[in-house]
Every structure is written in structure tokens, then in C-alpha cells.
């Protein structure tokens, strides 16, 4: 059942994009291509139909982790607050998925 998941919260998407830049996420991630980590469009595609994708992704991007996309682990991001993580996650999930 691939229901189209709409965000029920009103995080600002533009703010999320700016945060991803200022928190250095884009040093390892590109929007539409793999870099060190997965492209954010691919992330949005993989998770937009899971339950509560915003909760999942905001937690996941703070914790970092390994083994979901390849051999390279992502370090935890303790400089990203809960609120900032949710805005970044909302932005990722809003990316157009062709």
C-alpha cells in the first residue's frame, strides 16, 4: 500500500535546506546523487512510504549509523538539535521523487 505520505507538521522546508548546508550535511551528501552518503532524493524515495517517516529520519540523521546504504558509516550529528533534525528531515522528504 504505497499511500502518499503527507507531512502533518508545518516544518519550513526552506529552513531545512539551509540547515543541511549550515550543518555540513552537504559535505557528504548531494541532493540527487550518491556522494559519501546516499543522495537525499534516494533517501526520500526509500522512506516516504514507511510509517512516520519524519520521526524515523529525524532520529536517524542525528544518530548516524551504518550498513543501510553501503560500507561507509555516518557519524552521529550531536550538533543537530531535535528541532533542526525535524526541519532537515521534512526538507528531505519534500524533495521531488521522479
Dist. CA 98–CA 95, nearest whole Å: 9
Cell of residue 1, nine digits:
500500500
Dist. CA 44–CA 93, nearest whole Å: 5
Size of the site for ligand HEC (CB under 6 A): 28
Selected binder of ligand HEC within 17, 43, 54, 90 (CB under 6 A): 43
Scan residues 45-64 and list those touching ligand HEC (CB under 6 A).
Answer: 57, 60-61
Dist. CA 26–CA 39, nearest whole Å: 10
- Contact indicator for 78, 4 with CB cutoff of 8 Å: no
Q: Closer to ligand HEC by CB, 1 or 21: give it.
A: 21
Q: Does 16 bind ligand HEC (CB under 6 A)?
A: no
- What is the binding site for ligand HEC (CB under 6 A)? 20, 23-25, 27-29, 36-38, 43, 57, 60-61, 65-70, 72-75, 77, 80, 88, 92
Amino acid at each position: 500500500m504505497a499511500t502518499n505520505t503527507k507531512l502533518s507538521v508545518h516544518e519550513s522546508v526552506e529552513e531545512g535546506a539551509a540547515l543541511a548546508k549550515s550543518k555540513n550535511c552537504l559535505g557528504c551528501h548531494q541532493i540527487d546523487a550518491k556522494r559519501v552518503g546516499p543522495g537525499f532524493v534516494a533517501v526520500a524515495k526509500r522512506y516516504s512510504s514507511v510509517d512516520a517517516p519524519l520521526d524515523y529520519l529525524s532520529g536517524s540523521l542525528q544518530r548516524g549509523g551504518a550498513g543501510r546504504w553501503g560500507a561507509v558509516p555516518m557519524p552521529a550529528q550531536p550538533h543537530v538539535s531535535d528541532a533542526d533534525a525535524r526541519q532537515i528531515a521534512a526538507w528531505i522528504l519534500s524533495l521531488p521523487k521522479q
